[in-house]
Amino acid sequence: MTGISVMALGALLLCARFGAPVWTLYASAILAGFMPSMAAMVRARWSRLYRGSPRLHTAFALESVVDELTFVIGPALSVALCTAVFPEAGPLVAVVFLAIGVLLFVAQRETEPPVLPPSGSAGSSAIRLGAVRVLVLTLVAGGVIVGTVDVVSVAFARHVGSPSAAGVVVSVYAVGSAVSGLVFGTLKPAMTPPRLLLIGTAGTAASVVPLLVVDGVVSLCAVVFVAGLFFSPTMIVVMRMIEKAVPAEKLTEGMTWAITGLSIGVALGAAVSGEVVDRFGSDGGFAVAVVAGGLIILIALLSYPLLSRKTAISEEAAR
């Protein structure tokens, strides 16, 4: 899968460099998306190493923080390379990192989870589990907020006459998420995961409402920083619940569904908010994030009984 992705990304850069027809960019981009879900596979390895241990909570927190740091460092590094070296330099370096990173990852045989025999229906997918579906929907709604912040921040910064500030806004959101992930990873929450999820989604929903009244880049940064504080802890809790909800032999698939849900949400949020901004301006775009915030708390409330039962059953089985 990495080989397909690397070749497609290389083709994309060549097509852009030499002015190939636009359809070739889309075709290359589709194939470039065939890269493996590294975030899911890494978390599956942490689960194998620390299943049943408090260290798993810290490991998931570490992964969340690393994810957020890529959102801070990646865009800045890419822009610097594209402007200082040549336009395709940023994505080219990303291709090299992807290839080297995957090669180093698959070489770590000692931490590779073993292939386990199926414990239930051999052909059933992890997404058929009710708990997995609602957790994936939670991340879809959360991803919509992330995608909306990314897109609308650009429009808002341009509207107030500071287009270069858009990158700062996105970075502040990621920094807020990273900080909360670090702090949350050091804690040992006494609350059950479903209750933590309810608190996290409620905070997410409440924190995006002030987006409707921001009047400048500084106030926007303050609001998205607070909103970012709830993202990592919610992501950590969801991943922990996925780990408990799916059979051991379907762990990587279950986590891949979660990451896929987040990616779908980000893409959906970017597409919908972009269309809304074109029609109604940045205020309309921020309304998309508010609606997504309402959906995420609604999903958490409706799924609370199901997730509580699933958590209780999992903990009973562990004992």
DSSP state of 54: T
Q: Tell me if 279 is assigned to some domain.
A: yes
Residue 29 falls inside a structural domain: no
Say if CB 113 and CB 45 are below 8 A apart: yes
For residue 37, what is the DSSP state? -
Cβ-based neighbour number of residue 87 at 10 Å: 13
Provide the domain count of the chain.
1
Q: Residue 197 maps to which CATH number?
A: 1.20.1250.20
214 domain residue, yes or no: yes
Distance, CA of 232 to CA of 148 (rounded, Å): 17
Domain hosting residue 291, numbered range: 125-318
Q: What is the pTM of this model?
A: 0.83
Q: Does 24 reside within a domain?
A: no
The per-residue pLDDT string of the chain (319 residues; one tens digit each, 9 = 90 and over) reads: 999 999 999 999 999 999 999 999 999 999 998 888 888 889 889 988 888 888 888 888 888 888 878 876 777 788 778 878 888 898 999 999 999 999 999 999 988 888 877 766 556 788 888 999 999 999 999 999 988 988 888 888 888 888 778 778 888 888 888 889 889 888 888 889 999 999 999 999 999 999 998 888 899 999 999 998 998 899 889 988 998 888 888 888 898 999 899 989 999 999 999 999 999 888 888 999 999 999 999 999 999 999 988 887 776 666 6
